[in-house]
Amino acid sequence: MILIGTANTAPGIVDGMAALRRGGSAMDAVEITLRAVESDPLEDSVGYGGLPNLLGEVELDASIMDGTSLRAGAVAALKGYLHPISVARKVMEMLPHVLLVGSGAARFAAEIGAEAGDLLTDSAAAKYRERLSAASLTESLAGDDGSVSLSDALWRVLGYRSHGTSNAIAIDREGHICCGVTTSGWAFKYPGRVGDSPIIGAGGYADDRYGACACTGLGEASMRLCTAYSVVAGLAGGRQLDDCVESAMRELARLSSPVPIGMNILALDRLGQHTYWSTHTADRHYLYMRPDDSEPQRGLAKGLADDAGH
């Protein structure tokens, strides 16, 4: 058994491992871990406290995938509900669909009795106002008075963080694997923007036979390359874990993009070997726990060899 997560899973990874120790499923462990991150107001790239879109509204994306059945559930541009990872799981369990978006996702969340709430914290609202002010914009954007188009406004607010996500991957005592991803997405994004997090194969992918992978970073890049699936497909081809992730990172580095491509890839194979690669290795780590661990262990990010010293 093992549970791994991005650094921001610290609020929930201990409880997630406790669930595995009790005999809970990999999916239970992933959901428990990520719900804690979604509840953390200090984590401004996920859930409650997430930074809003250009209109000051928090839109959440999440996905979860069962590596045993290859079934998955996801939600995108969900407003007004605190735990998109749980709504995503219910999409998988209750519907013949994989992905619900916008008002449809919110309707389904209401039908299942998901916990509703105001996602915008005072801190996130203040950062929103500060960013608009720095770009010589005002909150009149929300009034849609035509003084500036949202597409023009988007280019003026670029330069803040374009990504931020929480990933968790678990293997339970039966050897089943689950991967989960949750995010509030690109800070101050165009309303309705959806990144890789709820896109199966781009932001996350799991297959008991081979392993699992999840991404954080510029989702527009991993969507173009189906990065999470590419790593698992490499494992299916008999390649070593780090070799698969390194290849994915090199493919990402080849892309052209109007904004810098920052990417982090968290992955493990079916034997529980795990790794984390980042375009920002100097300040990146991840967390992992095995049943005998009383607290999370830190693993350091790896990067492309030709990036060393740059």
User: Any idea which residues carry the catalytic annotation?
Assistant: 165
Report the alpha-carbon distance of residue 25 to residue 208 in Å, rounded.
13
In one letter, which amino acid is 234? G
Question: What are the CA-CA distances from residue 74 to residues 158, 195, 296 (Å)?
Answer: 27, 12, 27
Q: How many CB atoms lie within 10 A of CB 308?
A: 8
Report the alpha-carbon distance of residue 158 to residue 259 in Å, rounded.
8
Report the alpha-carbon distance of residue 278 to residue 286 in Å, rounded.
10
